[in-house]
Amino acid sequence: MVVVNWNSRDDLRACLLSLQRQTHGALEVIVVDNGSNDASADMVAGEFPAVRLLRQPENLGFAEACNRGIEASSGPWVAMLNNDSVAAPDWARALAEAAAAAPPACGMLQSLQLFLDRPEIINSTGLELTRSGNGRDRGCGRPRESEYGADIFCPTAGAAAYRRSMLDAVRTSAGYFDRDYFMYLEDFDLGWRARVAGWDAQYVASAVVHHKYKGSAHRRGRSWLVVLSRTNRIRTLLKNASVGFIVATSPRTAAAVCELLWHGGVSALGGLRTAIARSLAARDEVSAIAQADRRAIERAWIR
């Protein structure tokens, strides 16, 4: 179990208290603190001595912090939980039972995420691949009682579990999660890469968490989020999509570049050029582990 934190002491405390109340025994909890200056790490050390605390000297970003937590974990499955989430008491048990019953090709499990302030409303039941080449939370905004199928494109890392053998199989030189993403769409990239490598994903409706939603991201401002998310969308397409899909989504990509210029100026284009170069190199790594046809994946999963 890996929880990444950055300056969210009170949210993190609520998250860890919910993990203390889990009905599933022997839960390994690892907190990766990204150089917080709000005494988050000291709170964990003082109030949750059973939690393994990995103090980082700076904010490495969500993706790389997840990587370090995964490397420190020991189980055959690794669960991820956002620090601004509160897990229902049977959450870990439901994921563990689903993992034990999962077929060999299933490498990813998705929880039922509900909004913390609106527990009757769905936040996510997994990520969908859209026609624009983006990731979208399935069921977001729908009533909790809405029913969804077990098969999903991939999970959101805010409340998911990953088979360790799958993570090892799809790891690239940039890590399990691509550290270049910093945050946003790193889970979509990992899930798409895993799909290309032949792995499946399932939704576990009985594994329930309540999510505050963008608790940390809102502190950085809209322009920062736009530049990061648009750049990461382009990264993900170049690494994982078929050439035909890259071409088909090029009008949306052109619009994204305009948004980058508007929100980030010329410097954002410099970052985009670097991202494109690194993503094209990473595409070769993804191709080396490919077991499924990229076009077939898109035909099956585009919504």
b/e code 132-171 from CB counts within 10 Å (16+ = b): bbbbbbbbeeeeeeeebeeebbbbbbbbbbbbbebbeebb
Q: What is the greatest pairwise CA distance in the chain? A: 54
* Strand residues in 158-199 grouped as ranges (E): 159-163
- Helix axes 186-196 and 222-240, enclosed angle (nearest 10): 10
φ/ψ bin of 146: left (φ > 0), alpha (ψ from -120 to 50), beta (otherwise): beta
The count of other CB atoms within 10 Å of the CB of residue 267 is 10
- For residue 220, give the DSSP letter: G
pTM above 0.85, yes or no: yes
The answer to whether 21 and 89 have CB atoms below 8 angstroms apart is: yes
pLDDT for 218 equals 58
Sign of the CA dihedral with 136 first, then 137, 141, and 147 last: positive
**Backbone dihedral angles phi then psi of residue 93, each to the nearest 5 degrees:** -65, -45
pLDDT tens per residue across span 158-203:
999 999 999 999 999 999 999 999 999 999 999 999 999 999 999 9
- For residue 35, give the DSSP letter: S
- Please state, in angstroms and rounded to a whole number, the distance separating the CA atoms of residues 143 and 104: 32
b/e code 26-64 from CB counts within 10 Å (16+ = b): ebebbbbbbbbeeebbebbeeebeebbbbebeebbbbbb
Mean pLDDT (the chain) is 96
The answer to whether 63 and 182 have CB atoms below 8 angstroms apart is: yes
pLDDT tens per residue across span 85-141:
999 999 999 999 999 999 999 999 999 999 999 999 999 999 999 999 999 999 999
Q: Given a cut of 80, is residue 216 above it in pLDDT? A: no
pLDDT for 25 equals 84
What is the Cα Rg of the chain in Å?
A: 18
Q: Given a cut of 80, is residue 221 above it in pLDDT? A: no
| Residues ≥6 apart with Cβ < 8 Å to 98 | 109, 161, 202, 204, 206, 207
* Rounded alpha-carbon distances, angstroms, from residue 246 to 41, 243, 253: 42, 5, 9
pLDDT for 214 equals 63
pLDDT tens per residue across span 4-25:
999 999 999 999 999 999 999 8
Element (DSSP H or E) covering residue 32: strand 30-34
Angle subtended at Cα 226 by Cα 118 and Cα 197, rounded to the nearest 5 degrees: 85
pLDDT tens per residue across span 254-276:
999 999 999 999 889 999 999 99
What domains lie within the chain, and their CATH numbers?
A: 2-217 (3.90.550.10), 221-301 (no CATH)
Q: Given a cut of 80, is residue 253 above it in pLDDT? A: yes
The first and second tokens of residue 238, run together, are 């170049």
The answer to whether 170 and 190 have CB atoms below 8 angstroms apart is: yes
* Strand residues in 149-224 grouped as ranges (E): 159-163, 200-211
